[in-house]
Structures are given as C-alpha cells and as structure tokens.
Amino acid sequence: MNETTSSTHQPTTTRPGDQTQTAAELAQQWATDPRWAGIRRDYTAEDVIALRGSVREEHTLARRGAERLWDLLHNREWVPALGALTGNQAVQQVKAGLEAIYLSGWQVAADANLSGQTYPDQSLYPANSVPAVVRRINNALLRADQIETSEGERTRDWLAPIVADAEAGFGGPLNAYELMASMIEAGAAGVHWEDQLAAEKKCGHLGGKVLVPTSQHVRTLSAARLAADVAGVPTVVIARTDALGADLLTSDVDPRDEPFLTGERTAEGYFRVRPGLDPVVSRAMAYAEYADLIWVETSTPDLDLAREFAERIHDRHPGKLLAYNCSPSFNWRAALDDSTIARFQKELAASGYAFQFITLAGFHALNHSMFSLARGYAERGMSAYVELQEAEFASEADGYTATRHQREVGTGYFDRVATALNPASATLALAGSTESAQFAHAH
C-alpha cells in the first residue's frame, strides 16, 4: 500500500464535523462561560475530548432548543408548558402562543410508546420511546415551519424547545448516558431525571416509590451532563427528587441519607426512610451542583411548601432555577380557592420557579374532548360534530388553522414540491379539492 492510500494518512485540511477542540479550550470554556456558572463536573475536559472521537455530529435542533430554553428561563417571568402527546398537539400549543413543550414519560407510557402498549407510569416501555416522540414532535414543528415559509409568511419561531422525561434513567449511569445521547440526537432541549430506583420506578403520585442514594443520583446527573458535553450541546439538565413522599431507600451507603433512616428494613431488603421536606432539601442541595434546575415532586399544590423549599435552596445556591409540576393528579379546586389558583403560577415565579408545566395536559385534553364529541354524536348525530366545526371556525380569529386540515398537514407544501419538479403538473392535490372550494374563505 502506498503512502497516499495508507489508512494512517491524515488529511491536511479539516472537514465538516472534524473534532478540533482541545481539552484546554473546553476547560477554559467551562471556566469562563456564564452558562456553566455553579455547575460542577467530576470528570475532566480530557475525558470529554477522548470520548468524542475524531468526528462530532452537529445536533442542530438540540443546540438551538437548549440555547432558546436557557434564554427563556432567564428572560420570562416564568416559562409555562403543557404536556404534548403527539406532534399535532405540539403544533397547536405553539400556534396558541406557548414557547416551550413538555414531553411526559407518563403520557408516552399511556399512549405513545414504541411497544404499542398502554402502560402505567412504571418505566415498562422501551427506553427509546421518549426520544422517538421528541423526534416526532420536532418533525411536526418543522413541517409547520415549512408550510408557512412556503406560503411566504412566517408568523413565529415554530421550533419550541422540548423538555423531555428520562424517568429514572432506565438503569445505571451507562443507561443514562446512552439515553441522554438519544435525547440529544432527537432534538430535546432539556431532560429531567428522578432519583427513584429505575427497576421500581413509579409515577410521582403513586405509592411504593424507592429512592436511590443521593450519590447514585449524582452519578446519573453526571452521566447525562457527560453525554451532553461529548455531543457538544448545552442541554438543560433538570434534577427531580421524590423524597417528599417516598419512604424506601435501596442502600444506606451515603452519609447524607443517614439522618432520615428509621432503622427498619422491608421484605425486599429496602431501608425505610422518613419522607418530608428535610430529605428533599438535603438531596436538592447535592443535585444543585450538577443540574441546571431542581424539581421536587409534591402531592398537593402547596405554595407555602414551595416557598420554604426555594428559600432553603437559595440560601446556599442563590438564584438556582427551579421547576414545578402543576400536576393533573392534584384536585385543584379541592385544595385551593379560585383566587389562589389564578395567582398560583405568578407566586411560584416570585420564588424562582422558572419552568412550570402541566405534565398530563395532552392526555386529559385528548380524552375529554373526544369523549364529549363521541357522547354528543351518539345522542345527536351530525349536530354534535357541526358544533365542533363551528367552534373551530370561531377560533380562527385567534389564529387557529386546523379547520383546513389538508393544508394543516402539508398538502399545499407537497403541491409546491410537485410544481418545482413539473410546473405544468395537472395532479396537484389542493386544486379542485373540497377544502379549496368550501373552506378557503369560510368564516
């Protein structure tokens, strides 16, 4: 083999994707970029560079989303988000004015996982299911942007950042590393991780939750950050603790967990621990060095608890961003009066809860709206459907466009593709369609 064809030949010029950053440059970036202020890494820049390989893919959607989310968290009073179950739900959320999207593992388990099953929120579905829905949502948002751009009018930034649920990581640190890499490849902007045992993971509002030691969850958070650093993307890492309600712990290895041990063991060998705000704060203090936001899962919408938690965290970590689950598992009217509900999010924001989301909004909106339509249709036939259609027409004044469902999913966009290939095409889809005839200028 001659020298020019040798496998050891090195090109004299760099190509797109060539990894050229040095460990010294990366370490300097961590030390000087305000984005990394207060963030601790227990690995080195040399570790990251060694793991990158010689070619590093550019993850445009993940980078764009992470930078946009970070900007929103610092420049909005708070960032509200609803759980989306499908690409179309995400499109409607952005069209209605929301600037971020939440993707719940609960919803993926229930009706959007790759096994095709209906599951409770117990990490029973394939681990790549959430990244697949992240990609599906991004594809839907990209299509909405393409449709508007092809029509000559771009009304908004369609690529709203997606905050996705990694549950308890589906295993150990290596599983968390790989899951984070998959989230980034799919275009997630932020990812949250909870401190439960993956093998026993439960919805935060179920019983039987088993915590892992504080140090073990720190390793999970570190694995997620390492994956983002290797990818070269500033993914927003959110740490969640379930210690407010969980009373089981896998091991007493971490001295930070020792004050909350009761001395009891279960039949499974788990340690009984005392749940409450003190263990929550203890864990959150440890996680705050490794995560960008902290989330404590609560059982009721409790402003006093939220304020006390924020004050105790901010006493040691001033300005640390917090997240709050405005959960559908709460009976809101039973817990709060209307005036408190109305000001609830504003008061949370005053305590530093920058990201506030309704996890299962998509599930409840989808199910209730379809139940209402089906019940009406069963009783009154077409009159019930026409009421829905009239409601859609009325919402057009607020920017709703799905009344024209063919256009909504890109029929006109692909007519544009066909026209580019054959300007004289006689097979365009929208031309002569019932939508063009009956809906183009309706209402």
56 token code pair: 């590093």
Beta strands 321-325 and 293-296, pairing class: parallel
Helix axes 173-186, 129-150, angle to 10 degrees: 10
Q: Are 83 and 357 in contact (CB under 8 A)?
A: yes
In angstroms and rounded to an integer, the radius of gyration of the C-alpha atoms of the chain is 24
140 token code pair: 């839907």
Catalytically annotated residue among 45, 147, 203, 226: 203
Q: Are 352 and 323 in contact (CB under 8 A)?
A: no
Active site residue 203: yes
Which phi and psi (to 5°) does residue 98 adopt? -75, 145
Cα(400)–Cα(403) distance, integer angstroms: 7
Which phi and psi (to 5°) does residue 53 adopt? 75, -175
In this structure, which amino acid lies at residue 69? L
271 token code pair: 């340690």
Helix axes 277-287, 214-231, angle to 10 degrees: 30
Q: Are 83 and 103 in contact (CB under 8 A)?
A: yes
The total of other beta-carbon atoms located within 10 Å of residue 334's CB is 7
393 token code pair: 């027409």
Catalytic residues: 203
